Amino acid sequence: MNSRIDPSRMGARELRDEIAAERLTAAAAAHACLARIAEREPVVGAWAHLDRDKVLAAARALDLTTRRGPLHGVPIGVKDLIDTADLPTEYGSPIYRGHRPSADAAAVALARAAGALVLGKTVTTEFATYHPGQTANPHDPARTPGGSSSGSAAAVADRMVPLAFGTQTAGSVIRPAAFCGIVGFKPSFGTIPRAGAKLLADSLDTIGVMARSVDDVALFSAVLSDRPEFDRPAALTAPIIGLCLTLPGAASPSDATLSLIEAAAQRAEARGATLRPLQLPAGLERLVEAHKTVMAYEAAGALAYERLVHHAALSPALAALLDEGAAIDAARYDAAREDATRIGATVAVAVAELDAVLAPAALDEAPLGLDATGDPVFCRPWTLLQLPCLTLPAGYGPHDMPIGAQLIAGPRCDARLLAIARFVEAALS
């Protein structure tokens, strides 16, 4: 190993390859990540649970075994919404303080089977909703890292860990990844198994991944989904990319966001992409409200125990959301789902003529303050339609904070989306 190279600066693929070539040990990689955490955690606050001794023992055990899989020795962070048998899982709520699940979530078990080293549990907002945890944005601790996958995004961005799990019900992978300047991938609904993740909205919740490059999210998601095609780069020369700079009925993105998305489109075009304005179908503006209805109704059901038995322990924001959801009748919920199905069919037709859609990931840079996590409006329609989405760092805004470019593909076109993302990432670099 070159002693001048800090393993915390390496991506997952590079770490994996260095360990496989015996130029680096899993223990050395773990030491580097833990040292970075010791240095930066007092400022960033990305971790809910971390057991240094347990991590190092597990890393040394990996060094004594034969290579277990494509993530052998690679440290990962697990959002504290996803069960782990060897660490507490508290779902960002005092109701579950000290809770110890009896089993790993399916996605965690799959990662461990591939040789990944669970470094610890990253901070989530309360039950992956709006009430934030302790995490600050590593680029400016006075600003939010986004949510609900706050700790995962901040930890990856700050080089504490190369890979982390997130979950998305509205914009909880895409937005924090954009605010923290990393790559976030929300695959098609159900692509990564959800068993053992605390549900909030059954038709929306999706497990996603975060890293500092498209190659690394492709590697991680390929392992977790048993879809090796995700990690096979396709040779693209002239992809067709649709531009979607605004959403009907939503606030307009900032001038800085629009400028950077347009610049990203131009750079992709210079590499051979064909750009087309996305012809948005009539009624698309209703999807934002439909998403809110579906999310609130399903959350009231998923968190019925917490609402009915521990209402006083909920934050005011979550209590209000669950009470709102409980007041929605089944007919209104069904109508929102029918709206999504009908409008989604027309969106699928529009997107079928494109390889991907390029859009803002959020309205602007991460807002000042840690009492909120930003507006997910630019993610709600795509999450409701269960489409694969990915965000890339597009540049920096006027306050020197990252701004993300979001790519969206058609139903189950995840491998194509990852190929387009590699293409756009190369254009931006």
- Give me the pLDDT at residue 234, please: 80
The question of whether 172 is a catalytic residue gets the answer yes
Question: β-strands 389-396, 402-408: how paired?
Answer: antiparallel
Band of residue 162 on the pLDDT scale cut at 50, 70, 90: very high
Residue 84 and residue 79: Cα distance in Å, rounded? 10
Helix/strand/coil (H, E, C) string of the chain?
A: CCCCCCHHHCCHHHHHHHHHCCCCCHHHHHHHHHHHHHHHHHHHCCEEEECHHHHHHHHHHHHCCCCCCCCCCCEEEEECCECCCCCCCCCCCHHHCCCCCCCCCHHHHHHHHCCCEEEEEECCCHHHCCCCCCCCECCECCECCCCCCHHHHHHHHCCCCCEEEEEECCCCCHHHHHHHCCEEEECCCCCCCCCCECCCCCCCCEEEEEECCHHHHHHHHHHHHCCHHHHCCCCCCCCEEEECCCCCCCCCCCHHHHHHHHHHHHHHHHCCCEEEECCCCCCCCHHHHHHHHHHHHHHHHHCHHHHHHCHHHCCHHHHHHHHHHHHCCHHHHHHHHHHHHHHHHHHHHHHHCCCEEEEECCCCCCCECCCCCCCCCCCHHHHHCCCCEEEEEEEECCCCCEEEEEEECCCCCHHHHHHHHHHHHHHHC
Average pLDDT over the chain, rounded to whole?
96
Average pLDDT over residues 85-114: 98
Q: Which of 79, 186, 198, 292 is catalytic?
A: 79
Band of residue 384 on the pLDDT scale cut at 50, 70, 90: very high
Is residue 218's pLDDT more than 50?
Answer: yes
- Give me the pLDDT at residue 332, please: 98
Q: Which of 8, 93, 148, 213 is catalytic?
A: 148
Residue 134 and residue 157: Cα distance in Å, rounded? 16
> What domains can be seen in the chain, in order of their start residue?
7-231 (3.90.1300.10), 240-284+335-428 (3.90.1300.10)
Residues in contact with 119: Cβ distance below 8 Å, sequence separation at least 6, in sequence order: 30, 33, 34, 50, 55, 75, 76, 77, 160, 161
Residue 301 and residue 192: Cα distance in Å, rounded? 23
Lowest-confidence range among 64-68, 128-132, 290-294?
Answer: 64-68
Q: Is residue 37 exposed (0-12), middle (13-18) or buried (19+ Cβ within 10 Å)?
A: buried
Is residue 249's pLDDT more than 90?
Answer: no
User: Distance of alpha carbon 10 from its chain centroid, rounded?
Assistant: 20
Residue 134 and residue 145: Cα distance in Å, rounded? 10
CA angle 164, 404, 210 (to 5 degrees): 10
Side chain identity at 167, as an amino acid letter? Answer: T
Do residues 101 and 89 touch, judged by C-beta distance below 8 A?
A: yes
Average pLDDT over residues 156-171: 98
Q: Which of 8, 93, 172, 315 is catalytic?
A: 172
Q: How many C-beta atoms surround the C-beta of residue 260 within 10 A?
A: 23
The question of whether 198 is a catalytic residue gets the answer no
Residue 367 and residue 99: Cα distance in Å, rounded? 32
Do residues 418 and 230 touch, judged by C-beta distance below 8 A?
A: yes
Tens digits of residue pLDDT in 326-376: 999 999 999 999 999 999 999 999 998 899 999 999 999 999 999 999 999
- Give me the pLDDT at residue 4, please: 65
The question of whether 79 is a catalytic residue gets the answer yes
Tens digits of residue pLDDT in 136-152: 999 999 999 999 999 99
Do residues 209 and 217 touch, judged by C-beta distance below 8 A?
A: yes
Average pLDDT over residues 21-29: 97
Residue 160 and residue 47: Cα distance in Å, rounded? 10
- Give me the pLDDT at residue 2, please: 47
Q: Is residue 11 exposed (0-12), middle (13-18) or buried (19+ Cβ within 10 Å)?
A: middle
Nearest one of 209, 156, 196 to 47, comparing CA atoms:
156
Band of residue 248 on the pLDDT scale cut at 50, 70, 90: confident
Average pLDDT over residues 249-276: 96
Average pLDDT over residues 9-18: 98
Q: How many C-beta atoms surround the C-beta of residue 106 within 10 A?
A: 18
